[in-house]
Amino acid sequence: MWFSFLSFAILSIGLVQHLDAISSPIPPYTNYTYATELQPNLADLWWSIDDLRKEITFEFHINTTGWIALGISPAGGMVGADIGLGWIDQSGQLHFEDRYAYGFYQPMVDNTTQDWFGLQGREVNGWTAIQFKRLLDTCDVMDYPIKSGTNIVIYAYSLEDPVIIDGKATIKYHGDRRYTRAIPLQSYANPPSESKFTGLDYFDFQLHNYSVPSNETTYHCTVYKVPAKFPKRRHAIAHKAIIDPANIDIVHHMLMYECDPSAVFDDENLPSGICDDLGEVLMPCTSRIATGWAVGGDYINEFPEVAGYPVGGDFEIQYYVIQMHFNNIHQMSNRTDSSGMRFYLGNELRQYDIGYMTLGQISGATAIAIPPYDDRLVIDSYCPALAMQNIPPTGITVVAAFPHTHLQGRSVWTKIIRNKKAVQYLFNGDAYTFNYQFQNRLPQPITLYPGDELATRCIYSTTNKSVVTLGGEATSDEMCLHMFTYYPRMNNLHFCWMANSMEAWGRVTNDSIPLDYNSIVKWLTDRQWTRQSIADWQTFYNSTSKLLIYDNGGNIDFADLPKLPDYEDFEPYQCKKNTTDVDTALRPSKLRSLLKRMEITS
């Protein structure tokens, strides 16, 4: 139990799923910050963000000479999607429209406030390329904001241009020429093609035809040793998640942990098996995350040019554990798996060693308990200066973030608290989706200094569940974790977690049960949840005493906090638009016009 409790409290990953090689024969109009191949030999996308103007510029290429469309969707479908649609006519002129989808029918043109703007376009060799822009948040009820975190991009195309009737464009149904892609548009990691690392040394930590049990949830652990062929210290400059193609549907995530430098194993018989069965054996390997991968993420992760992950030679870590989570929901018994992790080694040492830090809640019921039918439960954690005091005076540089919850998670963020005042987000995963978990590259590296504190928040919704959701390992359980990649590496800054104190559980249960873990779980699962008790539960989380668990020089330390520390927060973002535009966007005549076009009477 200790291994499960501790290891899953630090789930974090940085990795991904699409190896990017551009297909379009048309060069983009300009240089962009980000680029990805949406669909091989079919669709490519480039984009850049102007932070000052809060504006995003796209360039979209599709292998067609008909109309093309790109949209931002709340959930990956048509309903509520905000769409830019364009085409090049026979004279070479660009046409571009701002459209909005109320349902599963032709998106209507927004004739009141044009918020998508076509800039230029062309057709070359059977491909259409269009450059266009919009604000990240237009304040328009017929637009969908591009939030920080993971965005759901939809795109479609036709083989023909729209038909113009009475000056209005009518588009034919795209049929199956429609697609969805999740992308963190404001923090994409731009994973390189694996060909970039051709010729470099590498090593793999990989399963070999492991027979996956038929259980719905399996956690398998294997100990690996640093390859002896690397007698000198090296820096890994990138790593690749090797996911067995036959098991993409059941490999949920994998984590690599560093074992304590004092750990000793029989090199001829390294432990391998069900994680809980190896609990005592793996105790030295449960608190230091090295890297990993999760469902929906990119396969390749490349480190910043100034830093790398140290391996071999005089590096103190000799042993590692790869933990695999198989989510075998159909309980199939005929699967064998050979997934793992590959590390590409640079030819020269870089200036800094990479380190990882994980914030949030421990992954158990004493930290996470979410009532059923709750549309919004907020769970906050706090990492005080006590746990951050070993940061060097020059600070540490944070370069990437990986937020993680399970199915009920809706948002994860961490704020920097300096002198008891929130100064900025370390990362804001306002838009989060469980099925696409990305390593987010911070738009600009952020420096943390001694005395800084960190506030982390996870937001959940359980309107689709009739039973309480508890913290735990299974996909149906929940987590609240936020991992950050930084340099230079510190040996006393790996994790900072929270849970509700046992005293708090005594108060909320009126001391009616023994204060042990199993009794608390039973009390939570047996409880009859009412509207009032669900509302009261948020108050409990906001005001109860907390247990802090943090890394201190390689040791695990604990501290009791009577409540979450107070801090002065910054004003939440509010979309601002000039009065005329707002009046126009919300004017009753506009709404009546929309209803008429939708053939709905009011």
* Domain-located, residue 584: no
**548 and 514 within one domain:** yes
**pLDDT tens sequence across 285-310:** 987 877 888 888 889 999 999 999 99
pLDDT at 221 over 80: yes
Structure tokens at 114: 């044009």
pLDDT at 439 over 90: no
The Cα 149–Cα 431 span in angstroms is 5
Phi, psi at 213, each rounded to 5°: -60, 160
Number of domains in the chain: 3
pLDDT at 163 over 50: yes
Q: What's the average model confidence in pLDDT over 15-37?
A: 78
**Angle of CA points 359, 446, 409, to nearest 5°:** 35
**259 and 159 within one domain:** no
**402 and 375 within one domain:** yes
* Domain-located, residue 585: no
**383 and 265 within one domain:** no
Q: Which of 351, 384, 413 is the last residue of a domain?
A: 351
% of the chain exceeding 70 in pLDDT: 92
**pLDDT tens sequence across 28-67:** 999 999 999 999 999 999 999 999 999 999 999 999 999 9
The Cα 224–Cα 317 span in angstroms is 11
How confident is residue 487, by pLDDT bands cut at 50, 70 and 90?
very high
pLDDT at 587 over 60: no
pLDDT of residue 293: 87
pLDDT of residue 134: 97
pLDDT of residue 422: 98
% of the chain exceeding 90 in pLDDT: 72
CB 594 within 8 A of CB 109: no
pLDDT at 585 over 50: no
The Cα 415–Cα 422 span in angstroms is 6
Which of the pair, 467 or 9, is modelled with greater confidence?
467
User: Residues with Cβ < 8 Å from 352, sequence gap 6 or more?
Assistant: 306, 307, 308, 487, 488, 489
The Cα 453–Cα 379 span in angstroms is 17
CB 505 within 8 A of CB 364: no
CB 353 within 8 A of CB 314: no
How confident is residue 161, by pLDDT bands cut at 50, 70 and 90?
very high
Q: What's the average model confidence in pLDDT over 442-469?
A: 97
**360 and 346 within one domain:** no
Structure tokens at 83: 């769409």
Distance between first and last Cα of the chain: 59
Question: What is the residue-wise DSSP string for 216-237?
Answer: SEEEEEEEEE--TT--S-EEEE
Question: What is the residue-wise DSSP string for 73-139?
Answer: ESSSSSTT-EEEEEEE-TTS-EEEEEEE-SSSSPPEE--S----EEEEEEEETTEEEEEEEEES---
The Cα 460–Cα 412 span in angstroms is 9
Across 56-60, 262-266, 581-585, the highest mean pLDDT is recorded for: 56-60
How confident is residue 171, by pLDDT bands cut at 50, 70 and 90?
confident
pLDDT of residue 147: 94
**38 and 8 within one domain:** no
Q: Which of 128, 158, 183 is the last residue of a domain?
A: 183
Q: What's the average model confidence in pLDDT over 571-582?
A: 65
Q: What is the mean pLDDT of the chain?
A: 89
**430 and 542 within one domain:** yes
**pLDDT tens sequence across 495-544:** 999 999 999 999 999 988 888 999 999 999 999 999 999 999 999 999 99
Closest CA to 360 of 332, 383, 326, 328: 383
Q: What's the average model confidence in pLDDT over 339-358?
A: 96
* Domain-located, residue 314: yes
pLDDT at 600 over 80: no
**pLDDT tens sequence across 359-393:** 999 989 999 999 999 999 999 999 999 999 989 99
Phi, psi at 99, each rounded to 5°: -130, 160
pLDDT of residue 596: 43
| Range(s) of the domain holding residue 99 | 34-183
pLDDT at 242 over 50: yes
CB 318 within 8 A of CB 263: yes
- In Å, how far are 102, 229, 278, 533 from 153, measured between CA atoms? 16, 45, 42, 38
Pairing of strands 453-460, 495-500: unpaired
**130 and 276 within one domain:** no
Closest CA to 295 of 340, 249, 359: 249
Q: What H or E segment, with its residue span, contains residue 385? A: helix 385-388
pLDDT of residue 572: 84
Q: Output the domain CATH number for residue 479.
A: 2.60.120.230
**Angle of CA points 145, 150, 155, to nearest 5°:** 70
pLDDT at 2 over 70: no
Q: Output the domain CATH number for residue 299.
A: 2.60.120.310
pLDDT of residue 474: 82
**pLDDT tens sequence across 69-106:** 999 999 888 888 899 999 999 999 999 999 988 877 67
pLDDT of residue 150: 92
**500 and 434 within one domain:** yes
How confident is residue 578, by pLDDT bands cut at 50, 70 and 90?
low
Q: Is 283 helix (H, G, I), strand (E, B) or coil?
A: helix
* Domain-located, residue 578: no
The Cα 237–Cα 252 span in angstroms is 25
* Domain-located, residue 579: no
Alpha-carbon dihedral angle through residues 226, 13, 206, 277, given to the nearest 10 degrees: 90
Phi, psi at 222, each rounded to 5°: -135, 135
pLDDT of residue 464: 95
Structure tokens at 591: 């709404």
pLDDT at 415 over 60: yes
* Domain-located, residue 593: no
pLDDT at 595 over 50: no
How confident is residue 7, by pLDDT bands cut at 50, 70 and 90?
very low
Q: Output the domain CATH number for residue 46.
A: 2.60.40.1210
The Cα 25–Cα 354 span in angstroms is 38
**371 and 347 within one domain:** no
Which of the pair, 313 or 575, is modelled with greater confidence?
313
**358 and 347 within one domain:** no
Question: What is the residue-wise DSSP string for 498-555?
Answer: EEE-HHHHHHHTTT-S-SSHHHHHHHHHH----HHHHHHHHHHHHHS-EEEEEEETTE
The Cα 134–Cα 82 span in angstroms is 11
Q: What's the average model confidence in pLDDT over 263-278?
A: 95
**340 and 368 within one domain:** no
pLDDT of residue 16: 31
CB 66 within 8 A of CB 158: yes
